Structures are given as C-alpha cells and as structure tokens.
Amino acid sequence: MPFDATDIVLSFLKIAVVLGALLNVTPIMVWVERRGSALIQDRPGPNRVGPFGLFQSFADALKFILKEDIIPEQAHKWLYTIAPMFGLLPALTTIAVIPWGLPFRLPAKKLFGHVFFQGDYFFDPIVADVNIGILLIFALASLGVYGIVTAGWASSNKYSLFGAIRASAQMISYELALTLAAVSTLLAAGSLKLTDIVWQQTQYFYIFNVIKIPAWNVFSPSMWLSFVIFVVSAFAETNRLPFDFAEAEAELVAGYHTEYSSMKFALFFMSEYMAMAAMSALVATLYLGGWDIPWWNEPQVWWASVLTMLFFTLKVVAILLVFVWVRWTIPRLKYDILMRLGWKVFLPLAFVNILIVAFFIAKQWI
Amino acid sequence: MFEFAIFFFFAAVAVIFALVVVLHHNPVVGALSLVASFFALAVMYVLLEAPFLAALQVIVYAGAIMVLFLFVIMLLNLQHQPEEPTRPVQQFLGYTSSATFLIGLVYYIVKYAAFTALPAGPFNSDAGLIGAEIFQAYIFPFEMVSILLLAAIVGALLLSSRSVGARAQ
Amino acid sequence: MIPTHWFLILSAVLFAIGVCGVLTRKNGITIFMSIELMVNAVNLTFVAYARQFHQLHGLIFVFFVMAIAAAEAAVGLAIFISLFHHRETIDVDEANLMHW
C-alpha cells in the first residue's frame, strides 16, 4: 500500500503520544495508589517529598535505579533477565489498537512552499487500525502469562514458582471469561474493529421515543452481565486485588518477583500499572463509549477531536480510580474459590450473555 | 520492498528458534523458543493476507498450548532430569536422514512449484467470511471438533489423575 | 508480493527441523515440541496455498488443525504425566515394556 512521508511522520507522532501517555501512567498511578490508599485507610500517606508527596514517584524511581542488582546464584541468568521484558509486552502493544480520539479532517496547508495534506486526509487517532482489532488485544494479552511463568521459574525459588504457577493458571482461566464477555460488544457492533465499536456507541437509544440516551454498551440491559464479568476479569488479568495471588504479600513473600531487585523489579511494577491502564482503556472503549462525548454529535474538526481525547482520558482515569478503590476495600479471594468463580460462574454466565445479546439483536432492540 | 525485509527477518527468527528447540538440552528454553517461533509464523500469516489466522495462531498456539507445555514441564520439575546423550548411530542417522529429506523437498519445490501469478486484488479473509463458511459448508466438522475437544478434556483428566497410577501399582 | 514458493521452502525447512528433533532427541517433551513444529510447518503450507488461489478452504483447514492440535497436546501431555508417575523419567527410551 503506498504510503509517503506524511503518513510516516504522523504515525511516529501518534506512537510518541501513546507511548508518552502510557509510560507516564506508572509514576502518576504510584502516587494515586499511595495517597488513595492512605485516604481509604484514614492515614496521611506520603506527604514529605514535595507538595502532597507529588515527587514520591521520582524518589522511588531514583531508589530503583541506584539499588544493587542482585542475580541469585541458582537462577537461570538469561531467562531471569528477560522475564521482566515479557511482562511489558502486552501492556505496550495492546494500546496500539485502542482509538483515543475522534478522526478529523486535516485541511490542505501550504508550508514552506509545499502543499501538505492534499485532498481528504483524515487523521485517525489510533496507532494501528487493523481489521482484527480486538483479536490482537486478546492475542497479546495472552502472552502476558509468559512473563510471570518465566520469572517464577528462573528465580529457582519454591515460593516464586508456586506463586507463578498459581498466577498464570488464574490468568489463563479469566482470559476465557474476558474474551467471551467482550464478544457481546462485538455482536452489537457487528465488527472486530475497535473503531467500529466506538462509532456504534456514538448513536442513541430512544426510550419511549422521547428520552435519548447515548448508546454506550453499559447502558444496554443486555450487556450489564458482560460488563460485570469483563471488569472483574480485567482485575484478574492484571493481577490486582482481589485476585493478586501472584504477589500475595504475607502469603508467598512476594510471589513471582521475590528474587527481583532494582531495575528488574521496577519493570514488573511498571508493567502491572501499564497493563492496568491498557485494560482500563479497553473497558472504556468497549463499554463506556470510548472517546464519545454523550449527547453531542461531534463534528470532525480538530478541536472537537481534542475534546474527545480529553473525555477518553477522563474515562480511563475514572476506571483506574475504581481499580485503586477496589484494591483497598475488598479482601483477597481464596485460591480455589477464585478458580471456581472463573470456570464455573463467569464462563457459563458469559455464554448466557452472548445468547441474550443475540436475542436482543434479533429483535432489533439494539 | 518492506515485505521482503519483514519476510527474511521473521523467517530467520522462526528457523533459528526452531533450531534452538531441537538442539538445546533444557526443555524450558526450548518451550520459550518455540513460542518465539510461533510468533514469527504468525507474522508470516499476516504477510499471507490472513490476519485472522495470525491472531488465532498467537491466541491458540503461543498463548494456550505452549502455556500448557510450560506448566507440565514446571510442575513435573522436568528441567532437572539429566538427559543421556543419544547414541551416536541414532544421532548420525537422524541428522543425515532429515538433511536428505530437506534437500529433496527443497529441490522438488524449486523445480515444480512454479505458480502462475497471484490473482489480482486483495484476499478477503475476514473473520466474517471465514465464519460464514464454517457455519455453512463446514458445520459438521465444527460440531465434531467440539465433541473431540470434550473427549480430549475428559481423557486428559482421567489419564493424569494419580489414582489410576496408584491402582496399577 | 512475495512468491508462494518461498513460503513453501520455509515450511519445508521447519518441517525438516521438526523431523530432526523427533528422530534425534530422547526427551519426551522435546519430541512433542518438534511434532508441534511439524504441524505448524504444514499450517504454513495450507495458508500459502490459500493465498495463491484466493480460496478460504485452506484457512478453514488450518482453523480445524489448530483446534485438533490443541486437543492432541492436552491428551499427549496427560499421557506424559501418567508415564512420568510410573517411571519417574521422561526419557522415551525407558518406556520399553513392550520391547522384545
């Protein structure tokens, strides 16, 4: 397919924006987590390093960089070193197919004696709009298991291996429920592309022909069950409480990253928060209407697009706050109850939800 | 031009990691190299205008089957099993016969597989089209495969439960 | 466009590497992984031909092969685990009860 310099430059710009946002999530979320948990637990939290403890993340990063990097004697050196990089893979790549703004038309401009954007050039704020959009996310998210399993095994430590096997069994079980719950939204949109899913949610439901509510999937009664299943499975996929058997402080020392120190541990830490951000972006896209601003038919111009990007960020931030809130509220589930929930409760319910959505579509209520 | 660069790079990745699987003594390293090889094959599928299959390859093979392999290796602690080196005569016969096989295959492919030009236009291999085909022409194999998977699950559960082994003792 | 016979040659190379693994190694899990490699080489051939003739049948065949390979891997590994419980080793030369 013919592409020219303009396409390449704009693609690089999109990648820079997305990567910049994603890599900055970790320090911000660390601060939010620590202050938020302090708020919930009625204590001050970090408030010494800078105003409201805002520079705490920098202090943490400095500590991670300056710490001594220890590799255990019995560990398999190569695998021990590349395991944290496996963990980053799903977080950094799944964000590439998530649309974060309204596509807008770039008018032809004459700069430095050369005309840019001749004809109808649409700037689509999504790094890679592939035909199989959501399947790519599921494919890359399922590769996240390898980071944990390799880290646990390469540490050559019983507790690490145990934590790693439990965590990876949990992750692959809840992947099924996650995928099937997302299929309901795909049925409503009729396409695998995430941009199509968001465009379908820019329309409206008319109740009693009078009240107009935006056709976000979370407002459609057929998808409430799948919304609950998806959000809970997102918690399980990112190994957050109440499903954090991978880390399980006070049970497994620190689970699969017991033997990791300094920069490698920081990479695991980062990959967890980035996976959280990517999952929140996915929840926002599938259920909360993506970049859609409710009750406004956005014109496809640049300032409307910037507003939609802002709204998308707000939705992602809201879901991240829910992640933090749930972590400090709900206790950890016992492991066999967790597995039973994934296989015996969520999987059948996700199937039932697909049938319900198919019924709604057949009756043209969606 | 980019397509050729991508093809050569990922073909090299696939072949090199396949060699690591076959030649390395540690099965965990072998399993992870096989994952890398499968990922390179998924890129090959994208080059062959079948992106749906590429996603399926990563989801099913790299994401599920190889995790199963890794689980079994780690739970049975198999990396500590000392593997005796194969007898030299078996090694020699194995390498030479597979090399002969490879040379014969490549010779015949280069000699006889001169295809006509590719049909013009894109290859429409959407998920929708494949799904329509599966649910119309291939519905019977589809249902049979689901029964096969059920049989595989039941069989795997029965075979790996310890009570069978204890009774046989 | 990349000529189809390049993909066929890649598939042949992967298949031959798989054959080499099955014939040369004694570790059961490695033999299993070589078999999976062979199956994938054949999948690549199917997809290459599907693109050559612009037909979906090759892709659907690969779809079914993947499902069946998953079932086969599960059952094969279960047999392996059972063998391991009996013999405490995964060396396939040790599974020789029916040897003469």
Q: How far apart are CA A222 and CA B160, in angstroms?
A: 40
What digits encode the pLDDT tens for the residues A80-98? Answer: 888 888 888 888 888 999 9
- Residue B85 in tokens: 């080196």
Cross-chain CB nearest to C1 (options B27, B50, B118):
B118
> Nearest CA to CA, how far is A22 from chain B (Å)?
24
CB A230 within 8 A of CB A286: yes
pLDDT at A1: 52
Domain count, chain B: 2
Q: Does A172 touch chain B (CB under 8 A)?
A: yes
B104 part of a folded domain: no
- A194 band by pLDDT with thresholds 50, 70 and 90: very high
Asked if pLDDT for residue A255 goes beyond 70, the answer is no
Asked if pLDDT for residue A114 goes beyond 90, the answer is no
Length of chain B, in residues:
169
Inspect the interface and report whether the beta carbons of A145 and B59 lie closer than 8 Å.
Answer: no
Query: Subunits with at least 3 CB pairs below 8 A relative to chain C?
Result: B
Which residues in chain B touch residue C27, judged by CB atoms under 8 angstroms apart?
Answer: 25, 27, 81, 83
Omega before C3 within 30 of 0, i.e. cis: no
Interface of B with C in 16-55 (CB under 8 A): 18-19, 21-22, 25, 27, 30-31, 34, 37-38, 41, 44-45, 47-50, 52-53
DSSP, residue by residue, chain B: -HHHHHHHHHHHHHHHHHHHHHH-S-HHHHHHHHHHHHHHHHHHHHHTT-HHHHHHIIIIIIIIIHHHHHHHHHHTTGGGSPPPPPPHHHHHHHHHHHHHHHHHHHHHHHHH--PPPPPSS-----HHHHHHHHHHTTHHHHHHHHHHHHHHHHHHHHHH-HHHHHHH-
Inspect the interface and report whether the beta carbons of B126 and A131 lie closer than 8 Å.
Answer: yes
Q: How far apart are CA A164 and CA A149, in angstroms?
A: 5
Inspect the interface and report whether the beta carbons of C27 and B123 lie closer than 8 Å.
Answer: no
Q: Of B62, B43, B101, which Cα lies nearest the Cα of C2?
A: B43
- Residue B149 in tokens: 């998977």
CB A202 within 8 A of CB A251: no
Q: How far apart are CA B14 and CA C7, in angstroms?
A: 12
- Residue A122 in tokens: 């649409």
Listed by start position, the domains of chain A span 5-362
> Nearest CA to CA, how far is B19 from chain C (Å)?
7
Inspect the interface and report whether the beta carbons of A79 and B28 lie closer than 8 Å.
Answer: yes
Q: How far apart are CA A152 and CA A159, in angstroms?
A: 8
- B169 band by pLDDT with thresholds 50, 70 and 90: very low
Mean pLDDT, rounded, for A164-183:
90
Inspect the interface and report whether the beta carbons of B74 and A146 lie closer than 8 Å.
Answer: no
DSSP for residue C98: T
H or E stretch at A211:
strand A211-214
Q: Torsion over CA of A43, A49, A55 and A57, rounded to 10 degrees?
A: -60
Cross-chain CB nearest to A146 (options B35, B52, B59):
B35
B148 part of a folded domain: yes
Give the domain C4-88 fold.
Answer: Helix Hairpins (1.10.287)
Count of beta carbons in the 10 Å neighbourhood of residue A331: 7
- Residue A276 in tokens: 């959280």
Inspect the interface and report whether the beta carbons of C10 and B81 lie closer than 8 Å.
Answer: no
Q: How far apart are CA A237 and CA A332, in angstroms?
A: 15
> Nearest CA to CA, how far is B63 from chain A (Å)?
5
B70 part of a folded domain: yes
**What percentage of residues in chain B have a pLDDT greater than 90?**
63
pLDDT at C41: 96
CB A241 within 8 A of CB A332: yes
| Contacts by A298-301, CB closer than 8 A, 24 or more apart | A298/A102, A298/A202, A300/A102, A300/A103, A300/A104, A300/A105, A300/A122, A301/A104, A301/A105
B147 part of a folded domain: yes
- B106 band by pLDDT with thresholds 50, 70 and 90: very high
What digits encode the pLDDT tens for the residues A310-366? Answer: 999 999 999 999 999 998 898 888 888 989 999 999 999 999 999 999 999 898 775
Q: Of A130, A161, A135, which Cα lies nearest the Cα of A148?
A: A161
What is the mean pLDDT of each successive set of 10 residues along chain C, which is 100 residues long?
Answer: 90 96 90 95 95 92 95 92 82 78
Residue B8 maps to which CATH number? 1.20.120.1200
Query: Subunits with at least 3 CB pairs below 8 A relative to chain B?
Result: A, C
Q: Find all residues with CB under 8 Å of A199, minimum gap 6, and list them.
A: none
Q: How far apart are CA A132 and CA A186, in angstroms?
A: 11
DSSP for residue A74: T
- Please, how many CA atoms are within 13 Å of residue A36, restricted to the half-sphere of its CB? 17
A182/A7: higher pLDDT: A182
B77 part of a folded domain: yes
pTM here?
0.91
Strands annotated E in A32-167: 104-106, 109-111, 114-116, 121-123
CB A328 within 8 A of CB A41: yes
Which residues in chain A touch residue B32, judged by CB atoms under 8 angstroms apart?
Answer: 79, 146, 150
Domain region containing B66:
1-81
- Cα dihedral across residues A13, A19, A20, A25: positive or negative: positive
Q: Does B35 touch chain A (CB under 8 A)?
A: yes
